[in-house]
Chains A and B, each alone.
Chain A
Amino acid sequence: DGGITQSPKYLFRKEGQNVTLSCEQNLNHDAMYWYRQDPGQGLRLIYYSQIVNDFQKGDIAEGYSVSREKKESFPLTVTSAQKNPTAFYLCASSISGTENFTFGSGTRLTVV
């Protein structure tokens, strides 16, 4: 079955450490996205990529980095520069130019 997989589901990190969240899709979608969700704030776009080896900043990119070396994979690194990293992180993918978005099941990151 095609889908989008995020791992891990729950992640705990010590303050000051970088951590990378995985997102893999086998839907052959060109575009991939990372969103962050905080209570009462809805989803906010961190980074997106419409094609391999290219990506753009979203609305809240500071303190995050991404790479898109393969079509299937769009990992997100939460760096120590991100001041409030505790949140629910959602990865999504779509066929470019369409509105058919598929979300992963999310990674809940907690900084301790």
Chain B
Amino acid sequence: RKEVEQDPGPFNVPEGATVAFNCTYSNSASQSFFWYRQDCRKEPKLLMSVYSSGNEDGRFTAQLNRASQYISLLIRDSKLSDSATYLCVVRGGGGGNKLTFGTGTQLKVEL
């Protein structure tokens, strides 16, 4: 089983739609959780951290369920510029400070 699993997509959605991505992780000792965004042929960039209480940054909402080892990202009112691959990332759990990446979920927002 992969340490971090995501649905690869692609998710093709119309502009203005709400889209949700899910991610599961296998190591219950994992300490920190993130969503990164990666544009085609570019490096990943931090989108947001994920906190146990859930957190929101504008149109983006992230949630963590430690009991189910499940992380989610909700994007409301999606824009064309949201088209990218979204990577679920987990840190810690016996591996020091290194990050473990999911394979990413591809989002395509269309007119």
A interface vs B, CB < 8 Å? Answer: 31, 33, 35, 40-45, 48, 50, 58, 88, 90, 92, 94, 96-99, 101, 103-106, 108
Q: CA of A31 to CA of B91 in the docked complex: distance in angstroms? A: 14
* Residue from B45, B96, B103 in contact with A42 in the complex, judged by beta carbons closer than 8 Å: B103
B interface vs A, CB < 8 Å? Answer: 4, 8, 32, 34, 41-46, 49, 87, 91, 96-104
Q: CA of A40 to CA of B101 in the docked complex: distance in angstroms? A: 12
Rounded to whole Å, the gap between the CB of B6 and the closest CB of chain A is: 8
B residues less than 8 Å from A104 (CB atoms): 43
Q: Are A48 and B98 interface neighbours, CB within 8 A?
A: yes
Q: Are A101 and B46 interface neighbours, CB within 8 A?
A: yes
A residues less than 8 Å from B8 (CB atoms): 40
